[in-house]
Chain A
Amino acid sequence: MFNLKSGNSNDTGRKAQISIILSEFEIPPIQDVLLIGKKAPVGPEAVQRMIDVLSPEQYEIIKVNEGPFEAVVIRNSLSRLITRDKLLNIILDEGCKIASETAVLKAQVNIVLNINVEVDL
């Protein structure tokens, strides 16, 4: 964050106040799912190159032609918990409700498996 403090009329010089916020760069920066709009500033090819460099073999890019979206990037580990198509349908349904063609949406997806097993005593 960078702020310029307006000088007092009695001050002889101008001063700047510097505020720095350090935080960790999130790797990978796209969380679990990325929805890429048809007219988004970044396209699937560029995203593919980015993930190939930053997080190789962790994501899959799926070209779609549904609503405003051109492609969806899904973290591979999610597909081990739920089938890819099922997840894709849910995400696209929700994404289509709020996104435009110029949007790039990232989504955090938490999947909790509830397992009840009965065993004989």
Chain B
Amino acid sequence: MLKVFDVMSSPVITADVLDSVSKAALIMEKNKIGGLPVLDERKQLCGIITSRDVRCVHHNRIVADAMSKNVVHVNKYTTLWDAKSILEEKKLERLPVLDGCKLVGIITRTDILVKIGRHTDPLTGLMTGSYIRYLAENILKAGNELTVIFFDLNGFGLINKKHGHVYGDRCLKIVGQILTENTSGGLYFPGRYAGDEFIVVTTEKKDDAGLWANEIIKKIVNITKKNGMPVNIAAGVAGGRRKNARMEIHLSATVDDLINSASLASTLSKQYCVPVTFSN
């Protein structure tokens, strides 16, 4: 799971609360940056000054009289997606990053968008496995049911060898398209896990998720056949059997377990030539 500290700029260029505004402007210009976190006499974060603040006040002022005082900041362990949500919600461009009370970095909207962009699979347009993991953790965090469906294309290596990788890529694209088209209701969240493996997380119970997966497999088989590139796919379903509220503290480990179980169940589907297998 990508955290803020994976992306932030560190060490941070800062301004002192008693620096002049013109000095802060000079630092920003010299380093080609649009804002500076401000540290007080105890070297604690007490504000942020941006190039806009500099333009709006008299250059003779001290930074303390030009900065924004209620600084929105994040902990270095905040996920990138949470940081992105904060930036969008508060309409901000940058967030200072703290480790406890100590300023350890700064992260900008561009840093986050570039990194998240890397988590969109360019071939299928689906999100990557790490994004789906983030969603899965959030589903658990919100106290909802979580079911993981793992799809694995049968004999995809042979398809590539027999027809070439361009053909194989087209197959993957079609599968991605079918998953996208069938997950618009906000109940199922699809992603490309790796190579020829796809993952979908949902808040639906396992039986409903199994039925949905079965329908998807039928569509994939039919559509790829119509397109002259028939593909078979197997699915494994894990989770979605909770009767009481989850009490897990280690959400990440729970998500790992569910993905693993769904993956093993999809292997059983392949072995027994059935479309969907439920994990025990």
**Which A residues are CB-close (under 8 A) to B65?**
42-46
Q: How many A-B residue pairs have CB under 8 A?
A: 29
Q: How far is the CA of A17 from the CA of B57 in the complex (A)?
A: 40
Q: Are A46 and B62 in contact (CB under 8 A)?
A: yes
Is B61 part of the contact surface with A, judged by Cβ < 8 Å?
A: yes
Q: Are A46 and B58 in contact (CB under 8 A)?
A: no
B interface residue count range (under 10 / 10 to 19 / 20 to 34 / 35 or more): 10 to 19
Q: Are A41 and B60 in contact (CB under 8 A)?
A: yes
A–B Cβ pairs within 8 angstroms, 22 of them: A39-B58, A40-B58, A40-B61, A41-B60, A41-B61, A42-B58, A42-B60, A42-B61, A42-B65, A43-B57, A43-B61, A43-B62, A43-B65, A44-B65, A45-B17, A45-B62, A45-B64, A45-B65, A46-B61, A46-B64, A49-B18, A102-B58
C-beta contact mask, A29-41 vs B, less than 8 Å → 1, else 0?
Answer: 0000000000111
Chain B interface mostly: loop
User: Which residues of chain A (78-107) have a CB below 8 Å from chain B?
Assistant: 102
Task: Tell me the minimal C-beta distance from B57 to chain A in angstroms.
Answer: 6
Task: Tell me the minimal C-beta distance from B71 to chain A in angstroms.
Answer: 15
Q: Apart from A41-B60, A42-B58, A45-B64, what are 4 other A-B pairs with CB-CB below 8 Å?
A: A39-B56, A40-B61, A43-B62, A49-B18
**Which A residues are CB-close (under 8 A) to B60?**
41-42
CB nearest to A40 among chain B residues = B58
Task: Tell me the minimal C-beta distance from A53 to chain B in angstroms.
Answer: 12
Is B66 part of the contact surface with A, judged by Cβ < 8 Å?
A: yes
**Which B residues are CB-close (under 8 A) to A42?**
58, 60-61, 65
**Which B residues are CB-close (under 8 A) to A41?**
58, 60-61
**Which A residues are CB-close (under 8 A) to B61?**
40-43, 46
Q: Are A39 and B57 in contact (CB under 8 A)?
A: yes
**Which B residues are CB-close (under 8 A) to A46?**
61-62, 64-65
**Which A residues are CB-close (under 8 A) to B57?**
39, 43
Task: Tell me the minimal C-beta distance from B60 to chain A in angstroms.
Answer: 4
Q: How far is the CA of A102 from the CA of B62 in the complex (A)?
A: 15
Task: Tell me the minimal C-beta distance from B3 to chain A in angstroms.
Answer: 34
Task: Tell me the minimal C-beta distance from B64 to chain A in angstroms.
Answer: 4
**Which A residues are CB-close (under 8 A) to B66?**
43
CB nearest to A102 among chain B residues = B58
**Which B residues are CB-close (under 8 A) to A45?**
17, 62, 64-65
